[in-house]
Structure 1
Amino acid sequence: MEDHLFGARAGRTTRTVVVLQPISADCTVRCVPRASGLGLAGRENRVATRQDRRESGGGPTLLHAIKELILDRGLRPGDRLPTEHQLSDQLGASRNAVREALQALQVQGILEIRHGHGIYLREVTLDGLTDILTFWARLTEPDGLKSLLPIAEVREILEVNLLRAVVPLLAPADLDELVAIVEDMEARAERDDWAIEVDRRFHDVLYRPLGNWVVVFLLQAFWDAISSISEHHDLSIPPPARIAQQHRNIVTALQRGDADAAVAAMSGHFDNQLHRTRA
């Protein structure tokens, strides 16, 4: 069965023929343009396998092939990849195509290209997500404080809903570390001092027992975006004593093993933050 698409170009009619036929999961259909009346002999529609596409150096497919190579070889963050020349030979693609694919993977935060030293698998990072969040927050809402609202709302949903799962997982050592952080907050508050890294460490330690790297990196991305926007707009913070008390309320509930009270205290902490951005 043929489906014809017609279009005029340079005074002649060009026809693209798409042949629909059963194909395997390892294949894709390749469409071959054919000009009416020009007798382009030998130009037949054919099915292109993954190997065909790899040899052609197609962008997205080559990126996928390099990522599959990393997975198949069990490479870990910090490990060195084959050279550009070796990848070109192994993947059947041109060196230019391989170079472009490697650069794209570096932009994605997967690889690090150290000129003169080699290509390395990076540590897990969501730097790209942080940049996207920061840029779009500032673009969609020029008001510095209000630009934090979408990020803060999602962060609240994530943290408040995860807290109930964290409570039974907290070990005495975790609670001791959280208490020490709150005491540091309180000591700073007496000097009317505040350090965002202390607040950040509290939340990092709190959700660490979940053992979920996605949660860890999402929270880091939110923190980085919020910090970047706050610094750019030189935003003020609530009184340090109030923030310290909110964290003390959370820790007190955690020490009792009271999930409901901990969730209520965390919600109150975020309500205060969100009230500022909505005002």
Structure 2
Amino acid sequence: MTAASAVPQARFSAQARLRALQSDIMELILERELDTGDPLPTENELAAALGVGRNTLRESLKVLQALGVIEIRHGFGMFVAPSNFDALTDGLTFRGRLSLRHHGQEALQLVDVRQALEVGLIGGAIEKITREQLAAVEESVLRMETLAAAGEHFLEADAEFHRRLFEPLNNELLISLLGVFWTVYRRIHVELGGTDTVDLVEEASTHRGIYEAVAAADKVLAAGRLTTHFDGIRGRIAQAVSM
């Protein structure tokens, strides 16, 4: 008997009903044109509007809170939550770390997705980057080079570099997703034993090369150097999981 067949059908039905209720709550938020920070109806009002019991409603509300859809402030009520990628970060981190036990497939796929985003959008960023924004990117590179020369790791400066590289696109979702991927990779990095295998000076030089391609407005070269950078990350993950 498999694990799936051992679970009673009633449990699957209950889970399906809870998912449907969560969807109904989100639809209610949209239909009433509630926005970030707006209060939701009370539990009694929601239960009546959706035709469910309060205990069932509370289960769904807890899930939606964990997903970052709503915010429950005890003593004040429930509100539409601000943008929150914590649930996505935690889920991807768990999947990535778990995958390290069997060849790191999902960790490598996360790198593939981040590469697709950055390589695909670097041309647009180059078109829009200002002199001031370009100077900020170089500032991040200089910080990495200084830390590398001192033998110190520069994960924060690395994240700052990539964020600044794409700020010209004025795409908050992209910046948030890059932050998610960086956080996930950092935790996977720690799981793999930290940065002991990274040549810090070479890594800083790689970022210098990306910056120089962007400064020269060479879209093809910038995309190629970003690809090389992500190839290095994939290589370190693959090497670590094969040990």
Shorter-chain TM-score above 0.5? yes
TM-score relative to the length of structure 2: 0.80
Listed as ranges, the matches of 1:42-61 within 5 Å are 58-61=17-20
Using the TM superposition, give the Cα deviation of residue 181 of structure 1 relative to its aligned residue in structure 2, in angstroms: 1.1
1:217 has 2:176 as partner: yes
Q: Distance in 2 between matches of 1:106 and 1:207?
A: 30
Q: Distance in 1 between matches of 2:169 and 2:66?
A: 29
**CA 143–97 in structure 1, closer or farther in 2 if over 3 Å, else same:** closer
Q: Distance in 2 between matches of 1:66 and 1:143?
A: 38
Post-superposition CA distance 1:174-193 (Å, at most 9, x none): 11211111111112122111
In structure 2, the residue matched to 1:168 is 127
Q: Distance in 2 between matches of 1:91 and 1:147?
A: 38
> Which one of 152, 158, 163 corresponds to residue 199 of structure 1?
158
1:254 has 2:214 as partner: yes
In structure 1, the residue matched to 2:84 is 125
In structure 2, the residue matched to 1:28 is none
In structure 2, the residue matched to 1:134 is 93
> Which one of 187, 205, 229 corresponds to residue 269 of structure 1?
229
Answer yes or no: is the 8 Å Cα contact 1:189–1:244 preserved in 2: yes
Q: Please, what is the CA RMSD of the aligned residues?
A: 2.4
Using the TM superposition, give the Cα deviation of residue 216 of structure 1 relative to its aligned residue in structure 2, in angstroms: 2.6
TM-score relative to the length of structure 1: 0.71
Using the TM superposition, give the Cα deviation of residue 259 of structure 1 relative to its aligned residue in structure 2, in angstroms: 0.8
In structure 1, the residue matched to 2:12 is none
Secondary structure at the residue paired with 1:113? strand
> Which one of 7, 11, 28 corresponds to residue 69 of structure 1?
28
> Which one of 194, 199, 205 corresponds to residue 245 of structure 1?
205
1:114 has 2:84 as partner: no
Secondary structure at the residue paired with 2:109? helix
Using the TM superposition, give the Cα deviation of residue 105 of structure 1 relative to its aligned residue in structure 2, in angstroms: 1.0
Post-superposition CA distance 1:133-171 (Å, at most 9, x none): 222223233279777423223222221122122210212
Task: Structure 2: state its 5+ residue gaps.
Answer: 1-16
Using the TM superposition, give the Cα deviation of residue 195 of structure 1 relative to its aligned residue in structure 2, in angstroms: 2.5
Secondary structure at the residue paired with 2:151? coil
What letter is aligned with 1:116? G
Q: Distance in 2 between matches of 1:93 and 1:147?
A: 38
**CA 142–181 in structure 1, closer or farther in 2 if over 3 Å, else same:** same
Answer yes or no: is the 8 Å Cα contact 1:145–1:235 preserved in 2: no
Range that drifts further, 170-179 or 145-154: 145-154
In structure 1, the residue matched to 2:13 is none
Secondary structure at the residue paired with 2:187? helix
> Which one of 113, 116, 121 corresponds to residue 157 of structure 1?
116
**CA 90–147 in structure 1, closer or farther in 2 if over 3 Å, else same:** closer
What letter is aligned with 2:66? V
Name which structure has the greater RCO, CA cutoff 8 Å, separation 6+. 2
What letter is aligned with 1:62? L
Using the TM superposition, give the Cα deviation of residue 200 of structure 1 relative to its aligned residue in structure 2, in angstroms: 0.6
What letter is aligned with 1:248? R
**CA 267–123 in structure 1, closer or farther in 2 if over 3 Å, else same:** same
In structure 2, the residue matched to 1:234 is 193
Secondary structure at the residue paired with 2:96? helix
Which of the pair is proportionally richer in strand? 1
Answer yes or no: is the 8 Å Cα contact 1:144–1:235 preserved in 2: no
Secondary structure at the residue paired with 2:72? strand
Identity %: 34
Task: Structure 1: state its 5+ residue gaps.
Answer: 1-57
